[in-house]
Amino acid sequence: MNVQECIFCKITKREIPSKIVYENSLNLAFLDISPISTGHTIVIPKNHYSTLEDIPDHELTELYKVVKKTAMMIHKKLQIDGYNILQNNFAAAGQVVKHFHVHIIPRNFDDDKFRIKIPRTPADEADLHNVLKKMEF
Q: Which of 40, 101, 103, 129 is catalytic?
A: 101
Q: What are phi and psi of 72, to 5 degrees?
A: -65, -40
The alpha carbon of residue 78 and the mean position of all alpha carbons in its chain are separated, in whole angstroms, by 19
- In the DSSP assignment, the letter for residue 11 is H
Closest CA to 107 of 71, 85, 81: 81
**Does the active-site annotation cover 101?**
yes
Q: Is 20 strand, coil or helix?
A: strand
Q: How far is residue 81 from each of residues 78, 90, 116, 137, measured CA to CA in Å?
A: 9, 30, 17, 39
Q: What is the 3-state secondary structure (H, E, C) of 21-38?
A: EEECCCEEEEECCCCCCC
List the catalytic residues.
Answer: 101
